[in-house]
Structure 1
Amino acid sequence: MARAKDLFDAMPPDRRRRLRDIAREVSLPRATRLFEEGRRADRFWIIRSGQVVLDQRVPGRQAAVVETLGRDELLGWSWLFPPYLWHLGAQTVGPVDAVEFDAAAVRDLCESDPVLGRAMYRYVAETVADRLHGTRVRLLDLYGPQGSGLDP
Structure 2
Amino acid sequence: MTRATRLLTALPQPQRRRLMELAREVTFPEDTRIFEAGGRADRFWVIRSGAVSLDQRVDSLRRVTVAGLGSGDLLGWSWLFPPYEWDFGAVAFSPVRAYEFDAKAVLRLCEEDPALGLTLVRTVAEILAHRLEATRNKLLEQYGLPRRRGVL
Aligned to 2:53, what secondary structure does the other structure show? strand
What is the distance in 1 between the residues matched to 2:137 and 2:48?
Answer: 26
1:99 match: 99
Number of aligned residue pairs: give it: 149
Measured after TM superposition, the shift of residue 6 of structure 1 is 2.7
1:7 match: 7
Query: Any gaps of 5 or more consecutive residues in structure 2?
Result: none
Once the two structures are superposed, the pairs formed by residues 25-104 of structure 1 within 5 Å of their partners are 25-104=25-104
TM-score (norm 2): 0.91
Query: Any gaps of 5 or more consecutive residues in structure 1?
Result: none
Measured after TM superposition, the shift of residue 71 of structure 1 is 1.1
Aligned to 1:38, what secondary structure does the other structure show? coil
Measured after TM superposition, the shift of residue 25 of structure 1 is 1.3
What is the distance in 2 between the residues matched to 1:28 and 1:54?
Answer: 15
CA-based RMSD of the aligned residues comes to: 1.7
Aligned to 2:46, what secondary structure does the other structure show? strand
What is the distance in 2 between the residues matched to 1:17 and 1:86?
Answer: 27
What is the distance in 2 between the residues matched to 1:60 and 1:7?
Answer: 34
1:19 match: 19
What is the distance in 1 between the residues matched to 2:139 and 2:23?
Answer: 35
What is the distance in 2 between the residues matched to 1:139 and 1:24?
Answer: 36
What is the distance in 1 between the residues matched to 2:54 and 2:13?
Answer: 31
What is the distance in 1 between the residues matched to 2:5 and 2:144?
Answer: 30
| 99-108 or 8-17: bigger deviation | 8-17
Aligned to 1:15, what secondary structure does the other structure show? helix
| Amino acid aligned to 1:128 | L
| Amino acid aligned to 1:75 | L
Q: Is the 8 A contact 2:5 2:126 kept in 1?
A: no
Q: Is the 8 A contact 2:49 2:70 kept in 1?
A: yes
Tell whether 2:115 aligns with 1:124: no
TM-score (norm 1): 0.91
What is the distance in 2 between the residues matched to 1:49 and 1:90?
Answer: 15
Measured after TM superposition, the shift of residue 148 of structure 1 is 4.5
Tell whether 2:143 aligns with 1:143: yes
What is the distance in 2 between the residues matched to 1:29 and 1:21?
Answer: 25
Measured after TM superposition, the shift of residue 99 of structure 1 is 0.9
Identity of aligned residues (%): 55
Q: Is the 8 A contact 1:138 1:148 kept in 2?
A: no
Aligned to 1:71, what secondary structure does the other structure show? coil
